Structure formats: C-alpha cells, structure tokens
C-alpha cells in the first residue's frame, strides 16, 4: 500500500493488490457520488452478514450475502469484466444496482 493507504494497482488499473492477492478494481467510470452510495450499501450488507452469522440466522445471512454480491456487481468487482463492457452497459450496470439497493 502507498502512504495514502490506497492499495497498489496493476499497471493497467484493472486490479488492486492487497496482501499479495489480486482483486478486481471498482469500475473507475462510476461517478464518485454513485460509487460512494454503492460502497455504503456494500459495507452495510457486509455488516448484516456478520450480524446474521452471530445470530445463527441462515436466511438473513443468505439475504445479506445476496446484497453484497449485488453491490459488488454494480461496482464492477464481480460479473462481466467492466473493461469488456460498452459505456452504456457499464452505466446500466451501476444504475440498476443502485436502483435495486436504494
């Protein structure tokens, strides 16, 4: 990691490197306001996973994991590779994700 705490990236910017592991980066073309909302949904869903596990509630855990997945797809971190999508497909992906999660 660099001094500003952001993870290192591969030269093409498509992946971040965390503890030696490569993870798909968030789509850089998502407007910052939308990306921030999606990250907020992602973190809330991750907290819900933890709460459901602590409560031993498998149904709530499944629902929370589905929201994690939905947020990560909207961010471009899962699903179709964002660099292989057209601008319209990329825009539709994050807008549909926000509509579903808001």
Whether 15 is in a domain gets the answer no
Whether 2 is in a domain gets the answer no
Class of residue 3 by CB neighbours under 10 A (exposed 0-12, middle 13-18, buried 19+): exposed
pLDDT at 99 (0 to 100):
98
Whether 53 is in a domain gets the answer yes
Number of domains in the chain: 1
Whether 67 is in a domain gets the answer yes
What percent of the chain has a predicted confidence (pLDDT) above 90? 93
| pLDDT higher than 50, residue 12 | yes
Residue numbers of the domain that contains 88: 29-101
Q: Residue 83 has which token pair?
A: 């660099």
What is the Cα gyration radius of the chain? 15
| pLDDT higher than 60, residue 6 | yes
What would the pLDDT profile of 23-32 be if each residue is shown by its tens digit? Answer: 999 999 999 9
Whether 23 is in a domain gets the answer no
Distance of CA 94 to the CA centre of its chain: 10
Whether 71 is in a domain gets the answer yes
Gap between the Cα atoms of 86 and 68, Å rounded: 24
Class of residue 9 by CB neighbours under 10 A (exposed 0-12, middle 13-18, buried 19+): middle
Residues near 39 by beta carbon (within 8 Å), at least 6 away in sequence:
71, 75
What would the pLDDT profile of 28-81 be if each residue is shown by its tens digit? Answer: 999 999 999 999 999 999 999 999 999 999 999 999 999 999 999 999 999 999
What would the pLDDT profile of 79-101 be if each residue is shown by its tens digit? Answer: 999 999 999 999 999 999 999 99
SS3 29: coil
């Amino acid at each position: 990691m660099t001094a500003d705490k952001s993870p290192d990236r591969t030269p093409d910017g498509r992946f971040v490197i965390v503890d030696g592991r490569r993870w798909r980066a968030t789509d850089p073309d998502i407007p910052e306001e939308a990306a921030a909302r999606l990250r907020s949904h992602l973190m809330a869903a991750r907290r819900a996973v933890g709460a459901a596990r602590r409560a031993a509630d498998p149904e709530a855990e499944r629902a929370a994991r589905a929201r994690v997945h939905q947020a990560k797809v909207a961010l471009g971190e899962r699903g179709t590779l964002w660099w292989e999508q057209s601008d319209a497909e990329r825009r539709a992906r994050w807008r549909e994700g926000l509509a579903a999660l808001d």
